[in-house]
Amino acid sequence: MGKRASRPKGWERYYAVVRKIPRGRVATYGQVAKLAGQPRHARQVGYALNALKDGTTVPWHRVINSAGRISGRADPGWVNLQLRMLENEGIEFGPGDRVSLERYGWKPRR
């Protein structure tokens, strides 16, 4: 068997988009996929972010789901970490632990 690449090629495009999300703003998985030229690949963005190693400089915590919520994970400790990281950037959570995408959503310049 040959040596397998550690990441699929397209994931670097997702990481490049996520690196552009400013502090105090969030983007959705679908938004990241679309900006990376891969519309309808929101789930792939989730896989790519989940594969990041500890200590990464990619601000993965700024990506949430289209309902304005942090997506659940097998280890609930990650959800709490993401929530704290977003709160530390000034992002407020409303009822149902939702972030207002209208208020905090990233609107990149084209």
Question: Across all residues in the chain, what is the average pLDDT?
Answer: 92
Q: What is the pLDDT of residue 4?
A: 42
Q: What is the pLDDT of residue 6?
A: 60
Q: How would residue 55 be classed by pLDDT, with cut points 50, 70 and 90?
A: very high
The pTM of this model reads: 0.90
Q: What is the pLDDT of residue 27?
A: 98
DSSP assignment, residue 106? -
3, pLDDT greater than 80: no
Determine the CATH number of domain 11-104: 1.10.10.10
Which DSSP string corresponds to 33-78?
A: HHHTT-TT-HHHHHHHHHTPPTT-SS-GGGEE-TTSSPPP-SSHHH
Segment 63-87 mean pLDDT: 92
Percent of the chain with pLDDT over 70: 93
